[in-house]
């Protein structure tokens, strides 16, 4: 006896069963045989496998472009190393500029802007947050940004804070060079 009602697919659409489609069980939701474009029936397992494979291939094809995929461009790791290394150098340069220099405010503003961009880019990146270089860099950048936010860009850094920042930045640079 043929089952002539509709079955719901995984995507939520109703599939009307034709006369050639047969529900082989008393409970139609458990074992459904549906006809494809040809007259050959396909099993529920085959239909769900095909749906999974098409969804997986669509996710891969519509995903973001990855740098370094198939040998083209820089990898995300290389970009992280380059960004972090250049920001460490920029911050170290801004720490060495004397407060009497006419370039002092410009150097501080460049460092602050760089820190904001770096934190916005890498704070939520799960693959970087566990790295020791990330931890040291973030600690130093956060301490410097906090000082400038609380006391203003014109205020000098206390000696202990400056020493700690220089140590954190040097450690971060060493860890970054080691790939950690």
What pLDDT does 6 receive? 53
CA 41, CA 46: separation in Å to the nearest integer?
Answer: 10
Q: What percent of the chain has pLDDT over 90?
A: 1
Q: Is 68 helix (H, G, I), strand (E, B) or coil?
A: coil
What pLDDT does 91 receive? 87
Q: Is 138 helix (H, G, I), strand (E, B) or coil?
A: helix
What pLDDT does 106 receive? 86
What pLDDT does 26 receive? 52
More confident residue, 15 or 168: 168
Domain boundaries for CATH 1.20.58.810 within the chain: 74-177
CA distances from 135 to 63, 96, 123, 180 (A): 29, 23, 10, 10
What pLDDT does 31 receive? 46
pLDDT one-digit tens code per residue, 68-123: 454 456 777 788 888 888 888 888 888 888 778 888 888 888 988 998 998 888 88
Homologous superfamily assigned to 74-177: Photosystem II Pbs27 (1.20.58.810)
Q: Up-side HSE of residue 115: CA atoms within 13 Å toward CB? A: 23
CA 17, CA 25: separation in Å to the nearest integer?
Answer: 14
What pLDDT does 13 receive? 53
Average pLDDT, the chain: 74
Strand pairing of 14-16 and 41-42?
A: unpaired
CA 48, CA 53: separation in Å to the nearest integer?
Answer: 9
């Amino acid at each position: 006896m043929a089952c002539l009602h509709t079955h719901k697919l995984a995507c939520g659409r109703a599939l009307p069963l034709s006369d050639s489609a047969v529900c082989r069980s008393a409970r139609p939701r458990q074992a459904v045989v549906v006809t494809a474009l040809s007259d050959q029936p396909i099993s529920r397992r085959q239909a769900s496998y095909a749906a999974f494979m098409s969804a997986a291939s669509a996710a891969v094809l519509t995903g973001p472009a990855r740098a370094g995929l198939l040998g083209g461009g820089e990898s995300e790791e290389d970009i992280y190393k380059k960004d972090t290394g250049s920001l460490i150098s920029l911050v170290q340069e801004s720490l060495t500029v004397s407060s009497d220099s006419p370039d002092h405010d410009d150097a501080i503003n460049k460092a602050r802007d760089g820190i904001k961009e770096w934190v916005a880019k890498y704070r939520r990146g799960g693959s970087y947050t566990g790295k020791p270089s990330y931890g040291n860099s973030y600690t130093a950048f956060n301490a410097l940004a906090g000082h400038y936010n609380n006391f203003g860009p014109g205020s000098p850094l206390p000696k202990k804070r400056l020493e700690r920042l220089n140590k954190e930045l040097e450690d971060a640079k060493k860890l970054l060079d080691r790939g950690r």
